[in-house]
């Protein structure tokens, strides 16, 4: 009661009204640090998952491409022999050359299309990177 009279009527209210500004700011900083740690963990886990999925896809593609290459070689030989059988005037080597040029042109088109698709691919997890950037920006530029 005496403190109230000396310091005014609001002195007792502010002492019991809640935590100080320092404690609030400290709590906010602690929460931001914890959130940033959790986002780094999430980012790391997303990267691990992406690497695992990419590895599985690459293995599947490698096996499929090996089988496809063997089949493609056998098909090219068959088409060259068929061309020689259908047009006996052409020497066998010319038939193989014709088939080789057609296969090379098709392969070049597929490589070009694959390169164009690869240019649009982003290997980083976008959401985690965006959230991390926001947190770093918040920590470095407080308002």
DSSP label of 103: H
- pTM score above 0.85: no
Q: Which domain holds residue 55?
A: 2-140
Q: How far, in Å, CA of 127 to CA of 131, rounded? A: 6
C-alpha Rg value of the chain to the nearest Å:
35
pLDDT by residue for the chain (143 residues), tens digit each? Answer: 455 545 555 544 555 567 888 888 888 888 888 888 888 888 888 888 888 888 888 889 899 999 999 999 999 999 999 999 999 999 999 999 999 999 999 999 999 998 888 888 766 666 667 777 777 777 677 66
The total of structural domains in the chain comes to 1
Non-local (6+) Cβ contacts of 92 within 8 A are: 80, 81, 84
Write down the pLDDT at residue 35: 87
- Which tokens go with 119? 């240019």
């Amino acid at each position: 009661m005496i403190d109230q009279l000396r310091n005014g009527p609001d002195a007792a209210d502010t002492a019991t009204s809640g935590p100080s500004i320092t404690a609030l700011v400290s709590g906010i900083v602690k929460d931001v640090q914890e959130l940033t740690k959790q986002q780094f963990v999430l980012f790391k886990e997303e990267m691990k998952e992406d690497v695992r999925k990419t590895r599985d896809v690459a293995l599947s593609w490698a096996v499929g491409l090996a089988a496809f290459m063997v089949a493609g070689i056998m098909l090219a030989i068959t088409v060259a022999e068929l061309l020689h059988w259908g047009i006996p005037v052409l020497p066998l080597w010319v038939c193989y050359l014709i088939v080789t040029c057609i296969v090379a042109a098709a392969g070049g088109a597929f490589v070009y299309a694959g390169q164009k698709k690869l240019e649009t691919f982003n290997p980083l997890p976008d959401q985690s990177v965006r959230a991390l950037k926001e947190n770093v920006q918040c920590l470095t530029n407080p308002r």
